[in-house]
Chains A and B, each alone.
Chain A
Amino acid sequence: MEWLDAIIQGVLLGGLYALFATGLSLIFGVMRLVNIAHGDLIVLSAFLGLAMFNGTGVHPLISLIVIVPVMAGIGYALQRGILNLTLGRDILPPLLVTFGLSIIIQNVLLEVFSADTQRLKAGALETASIAIGDQIAIGWFPLIVFLSAVGVIALLQLVLFRTRLGTAFRATSDDHETAALMGIDNRHVFGLAMALALAVVALAGTFMAIRTNFSPAIGPARLLYAFEAVIIGGLGSLWGTLAGGVILGVAQAIGAKFHPGGQILAGHVAFLIVLVLRPNGLFPRTRDR
C-alpha cells in the first residue's frame, strides 16, 4: 500500500516535471535550440502571476487567462528579436545567448521583486485532497497539475499533427532550408513555436508557484529536471516528455522510499540508465543527421 502511495505521488509529480519540460522539448524539436533560460522563464512567469495577484487579488488559476498570452507574446518577441539572430549551423551562439538571458532575467527579478521567497496563494485548493482508503490521499492540486500536463500535451500533439501550423513546424524541423523554399517563413514559424513553448511555461510557472516557494535564483534548479525529462522521453517527442517526467517522478518517489538521500539520486540514475540503454531516449522523433 505504501509503495502504491509512493508510485501515485511520483506519477503526479511527474506531471509537473513534464510541464516544465514540454516547452523545452517543443522548441528543441522545431529549431534545435537548447534554451538555458527555460528555468528562469518559468520563474519569470511565476513572478508575473505574483504581480497579477498582488495587483488584482484574482485567483492565480484565473490569472492564467492573462499570463499565458502575455508569456506567448514575450516568447514571440524574444524569438524574432534575439534568438532568430543566433540560429545557424553552430549550436553554440544560442546556448550562450540563452545563458546570458538566464543571468539577466535572474538579476532583473532580483532588482524588481527583491530576494524574498514568494508563493502564489491558491486558498483551500493548496491542501485539499481526496482520501482513498486510510493509507492514500491524492491532493487535488497535484492531480490538476497532472491532468493539465496530459491535456496540454494532447493539445500540442493535435496542433502538431492536425493543423497547417503543425505541418509547418514539422517541415521546418525536418529540413528548414527546403521548407523555406516551399514558402514557409522560418522566422515566423520559430517565433510561433517559442510563443507556444512560453505559453506552456506560463502554466508550469504558475503551478510551481502555487506548489512551493520561489525566488529569483531558483530557475536553474528547475531546468535540470526539465532537461532530464526531455532526454528520457526522446528528443522532440511530446508524449515521450510526459513519460520522461513520470519516470523521473516515480524514480524519485521510489528512491525516497528506500532512503530520503536516494530521492534525487534515483531520478538521476533512472536518467543515466535510459541514456546508456537508449541514447536517443525512449520515443525519439527527431534524429540529427
Chain B
Amino acid sequence: MSKESRTAKRVGTTRRQVLKAGAAGAVGTAAISAGFPSIVRAADTVRIGYVSPRTGPLAPFAVSDEFNVATVLEAIGGKVDSGGNSLNVEIIVKDSQSNPNRAAEVASELILSDEVHLLCAGNTPETTNPVADQAEINEVPCITTLCPWQPYFFGRGGNPAEGFQWTYHYFWGLEDVIAVFLNLWAKIETNKVVGGLFPNDGDGNAWGHPELGFPKPLAGAGYTLIDPGRYQNLTDDFSAHISEFKENGVEIVTGVVLPPDFTTFWTQAAQQGFRPKAATVGKALLFPEAVEALGDAGHNLSSEIWWSPSHPFTSSITGQTCGELAAAFTAATGKQWSQPVGYGHSIFEVALDVVSRAEDINDTEAMLASIVATNVSTIAGPVSWGSGPVKNVAKMPLVGGQWRRTPDGSFAYDLTITSNETAPDVPTNAEMELIG
C-alpha cells in the first residue's frame, strides 16, 4: 500500500513538472533542439508523433526510422519556421511492437499525454489503420504512408463518397501493382498461365479478390490464373500448390507472400522440379536480406518497386537525391538500402511541410487545412491530396523490376528497374529477363 501511494505521488510530481515545464519552457525538448536555451514558450515547440513497428515481425520496415529521424532533425537544426515563428521540432517515436492493439494504444498516448500537433504512422495496415482510427476519433490531424491504399481505406470501413475527416494517406494501390506486374510479364515469352500464392490475410484476400483483385484484370489481359485457394501464413509445406502448378503448366508465379513462406515455396519448387519462367511476388522480395536468403535462387525474381536509389526525386529537407540518401543510409547503418528508407524519410518531409504552412499549429482545423493544401515534392515523389481515388488518398508512382546477382558489388543482390510504363519519370536501368 505504502509503495503504491509513493508511486502515485511520484507520478503526480512528474505530471506537475511537465506542466510547469510546459508553462515555463520546453525543458523536455532541450536535448532535441540542439542545446538551445530553454527559455522559450511551450507553444514554440511543435510535437510530431510517429508510430512505427520497431520490434516484432514487422520490424524490418522500421530499421531506417532512427536514421531518418536523425537525418531530418540534423538537417533542419531542430527547428522549422511556421506562421512567422521559428518552432522547435520534437519528433516522438513510439513502437507499435507490430501489434495493431499496441499501435492504437501508443497513438492515443501520443494524442492524450504528449499532445502532439500532428500524428504520423507508417509501415503496413497493422500500423497505419489503428493509428489513423485513433486520430479520427480524437480529431487530430494524421498523415500515414507505406500501406496500399485499399487496405488503408476500405480496411477502416471508409466510404468513398464521404472519406475521412482527419486522416490522410499517400501510397499506391492494388490497381498499380496489377498494372506493373502485367507490364513486366508483357516483356517475356510465356504461355500466360499464372499460378497465384495468396495467403489468408488482409493482403492475400485483397489480391486474390475475384472482383477487386488480380483475377479480373489478368483474365482481361489474356492470362489464365491458377489459384489453389487461400493458405495460412507460415506454412511449412507447399507441395500441394507445386503439384497443382505443375499439372496446369504454370510458367509465371505471383502472389503476396511472407518471406519465410516464399523461401519454403521456392526451395520446394526447386526440389520438385518446378521451374517457372518468372516469379513476380509482392512482400517477400521487398527486403534485400530476404532475397539474399534464397542464395543463388533469388536471381531474376521480380517485384513491384516504389522507391530506389535511381528514382529521380530529391528531399525537400536535405536536398539529397535518392541515391545520396541510400548511400547515407548504408554509411550510417552498414545495411543495403531498402524501399522503406525513402518513404520513412518522406513522411517527415510531408509533416514538416504541413507544419510550416499551418497558420496556427495549435488549431487542429488550421493544421487540417494545411494537410489538404499539401503540394510538396518529396524523395518518394510529389505528394498532394485532391487527385487521388478517394479524398484522403494521394497516389505515388510505382514501377517494377528484377533482383540481379551482383558478384562484384558490396551486396549480393541489386534491384534493377525493368518496367516503367506506369511511371515514365522513373528511368529503367535493365531489361526484363527469364529466370534461369
Question: A128 CA to B271 CA in the complex, in Å?
Answer: 6
Q: Which residues of B contact A128 (CB under 8 A)?
A: 271
Residue among A138, A142, A212, A259 with the highest chain B CB neighbour number at 10 A = A212
Question: Does residue A74 face the partner (Cβ distance < 8 Å to B)?
Answer: no
Q: Which residues of A contact B289 (CB under 8 A)?
A: 116-118
Question: A5 CA to B295 CA in the complex, in Å?
Answer: 26
Shortest B121–chain A CB gap in Å is 18
Question: Does residue A115 face the partner (Cβ distance < 8 Å to B)?
Answer: yes
Q: Which residues of B contact A110 (CB under 8 A)?
A: 55, 59
Question: A212 CA to B297 CA in the complex, in Å?
Answer: 13
Contact assessment for B273 and A129 in the assembled complex, using a CB-CB cutoff below 8 Å: yes
Residue among B228, B230, B271, B272 with the highest chain A CB neighbour number at 10 A = B271
Pick the contact of B57 from A137, A218, A264 — CB < 8 Å?
A: A218
Interface size on B, residues (CB 8 A): 42
Contact assessment for A263 and B230 in the assembled complex, using a CB-CB cutoff below 8 Å: no
Question: A142 CA to B267 CA in the complex, in Å?
Answer: 11
Question: A117 CA to B294 CA in the complex, in Å?
Answer: 11
Shortest A20–chain B CB gap in Å is 10
Interface size on A, residues (CB 8 A): 48
Question: A141 CA to B57 CA in the complex, in Å?
Answer: 27
Q: Which residues of B contact A139 (CB under 8 A)?
A: 267-268, 271-272
Contact assessment for B295 and A9 in the assembled complex, using a CB-CB cutoff below 8 Å: no
Q: Which residues of B contact A213 (CB under 8 A)?
A: 259-260, 263, 290, 293
Contact assessment for B229 and A260 in the assembled complex, using a CB-CB cutoff below 8 Å: yes
Contact assessment for A9 and B235 in the assembled complex, using a CB-CB cutoff below 8 Å: no
A129 with B229, Cβ < 8 A, contacts A213-B260, A217-B56, A256-B240 known: no
Shortest B122–chain A CB gap in Å is 15
B214-239 Cβ-contact flags toward A at 8 Å (1 or 0): 00000000000000111110111101
Q: Which residues of A contact B56 (CB under 8 A)?
A: 115, 217
Q: Which residues of B contact A118 (CB under 8 A)?
A: 289, 293
Closest to A140 in B: B271
Contact assessment for B237 and A13 in the assembled complex, using a CB-CB cutoff below 8 Å: yes
Contact assessment for B267 and A126 in the assembled complex, using a CB-CB cutoff below 8 Å: yes
**Interchain pairs with CB closer than 8 A, number:** 137
Pick the contact of B239 from A5, A212, A221 — CB < 8 Å?
A: A5
Pick the contact of A217 from B57, B229, B292 — CB < 8 Å?
A: B57
Q: Which residues of B contact A107 (CB under 8 A)?
A: 55
Contact assessment for A256 and B290 in the assembled complex, using a CB-CB cutoff below 8 Å: no
Contact assessment for A117 and B260 in the assembled complex, using a CB-CB cutoff below 8 Å: yes
Pick the contact of B260 from A142, A218, A256, A263 — CB < 8 Å?
A: A218
Question: Does residue B305 face the partner (Cβ distance < 8 Å to A)?
Answer: no
Contact assessment for B236 and A252 in the assembled complex, using a CB-CB cutoff below 8 Å: yes
Closest to B274 in A: A137
Question: Does residue B98 face the partner (Cβ distance < 8 Å to A)?
Answer: yes
B253-275 Cβ-contact flags toward A at 8 Å (1 or 0): 00000011101100110111100
Question: A221 CA to B259 CA in the complex, in Å?
Answer: 15
Closest to A129 in B: B271
Question: Does residue B287 face the partner (Cβ distance < 8 Å to A)?
Answer: yes
A222-242 Cβ-contact flags toward B at 8 Å (1 or 0): 000100000000000000000
Question: A123 CA to B261 CA in the complex, in Å?
Answer: 19
A137 with B241, Cβ < 8 A, contacts A126-B267, A212-B263, A217-B59 known: no
Residues of A participating in the B interface, judged by any CB pair closer than 8 Å: 2, 5-6, 9-10, 13, 16-17, 107, 110, 114-119, 121, 123, 126-129, 131, 137-139, 141-142, 211-215, 217-218, 221, 225, 249, 252-253, 256-257, 259-261, 263-265
Residues of B participating in the A interface, judged by any CB pair closer than 8 Å: 55-57, 59-60, 62-63, 98, 200, 228-232, 234-237, 239-241, 243, 259-261, 263-264, 267-268, 270-273, 287, 289-290, 292-295, 297, 335
Q: A116-B287, A217-B57, A263-B240 are in contact. List 9 more A-B contacts (CB 8 A).
A: A127-B267, A128-B271, A211-B236, A211-B264, A212-B260, A213-B260, A214-B260, A261-B229, A264-B231
